């Protein structure tokens, strides 16, 4: 739950929760930068590799979780793994997304977990009664979904060893491999969220918004200007560039997908 107004701009999003945690987000083409501000030095971050986007009423349009794996590295600040998600609008086979994450400071404790898959998607999993949701099992530095598609993830905790209330996280993703996800994280992102957001804004201005010329003076209709640029923004979110990211074959040819209701 939020207790204040969100801030959303091209390349930047910020929200403030009732528990007084502030979250700021920015991204590049293949990686994301998170900036958390906590009300106290104690900090906890949950990494959930089994999260997906279900649809409550249209079962044919929902996603489903098909398994994953997470590994916490020995430095207690980096992790990697993958998640496989199927279904969705195209009703296709599961797609595997590889993840490479890093925090800007070493956690005091970091532990992987796995637990019963409690998502009641009747087409793909058993139905559930009103039994109590089972607690996860904490299993050390790694967890794998296994044959029952257990949920997997990790919890990183900073329990007051540092006085700072801020924490940053960089995350790279790839459809090809963990190593490629790590390369994206390292090559595309710094730890500076303002510079990351500014770079995203500059790219949008260069590649999209600067292609047209309209009156933006105070005399112009500001409502229509907002509608115009908002429409340009959403039109260019898709199709998505996947050059070098096709897991089925290697090619030097440009590759785009996610052609969704372009009309």
Instruction: Give the residue-averaged pLDDT of 217-242.
Output: 91
Q: Please state, for a pLDDT cut of 70, what percent of the chain lies above it.
A: 89
pTM of the model: 0.88
Residues 140 and 75 in one domain: yes
Residues 23 and 114 in one domain: yes
Q: How many structural domains compose the chain?
A: 2
Residues 243 and 122 in one domain: no
Residues 224 and 154 in one domain: no
DSSP 258: -
Instruction: Give the model's confidence band at 90: pLDDT under 50 very low, under 70 low, under 90 confident, else very high.
Output: low
d(CA 204, CA 211): 10
* Token pair 């349009």 in the structure block, residue: 61
Residues 220 and 235 in one domain: yes
Q: Strand, helix or coil at 143? A: strand
The secondary structure of 30-98 as a DSSP string is SEEEEEEE-SSSEEEEEEETT-----SS-GGG-EEEEEEEEEE-TTSSEEEEEEEEEETTTTEEEEEEE
Q: Please state, for a pLDDT cut of 90, what percent of the chain lies above it.
A: 60
Tell me which residue range forms the domain holding 122. 7-207
Residues 228 and 137 in one domain: no
């Amino acid at each position: 739950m939020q207790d204040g107004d969100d801030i959303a701009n091209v390349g930047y999003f910020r929200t403030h929760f009732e528990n007084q945690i502030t979250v700021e987000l920015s991204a590049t083409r293949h990686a994301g930068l998170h900036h958390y501000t906590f009300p106290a030095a104690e900090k906890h971050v949950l990494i959930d590799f089994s999260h997906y986007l279900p649809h409550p009423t249209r079962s044919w349009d929902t996603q489903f979780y098909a398994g994953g794996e997470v590994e916490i590295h020995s430095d207690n600040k980096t992790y990697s793994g993958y998640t496989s998600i199927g279904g969705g609008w195209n009703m296709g086979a599961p797609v595997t997304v590889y993840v490479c994450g890093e925090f800007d400071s070493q956690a005091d404790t970091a532990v992987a977990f796995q637990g019963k898959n409690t998502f009641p998607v009747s087409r793909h999993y058993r139905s559930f009664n009103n039994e109590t949701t089972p607690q996860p099992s904490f299993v050390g530095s790694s967890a794998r979904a296994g044959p029952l598609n257990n949920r997997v993830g990790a919890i990183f905790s900073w329990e007051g060893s540092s006085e700072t209330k801020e924490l940053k996280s960089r995350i790279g993703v790839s459809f090809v491999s963990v190593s490629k996800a790590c390369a994206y994280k390292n090559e595309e992102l710094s730890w500076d969220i303002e510079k990351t957001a500014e770079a995203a804004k500059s790219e949008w201005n260069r590649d999209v918004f600067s292609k047209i010329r309209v009156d933006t003076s105070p005399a112009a209709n500001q409502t229509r200007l907002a509608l115009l640029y908002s429409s340009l923004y959403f039109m260019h979110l898709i199709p998505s560039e996947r050059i070098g990211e096709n897991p089925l074959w290697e090619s030097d040819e440009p590759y785009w997908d996610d052609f969704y209701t372009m009309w």
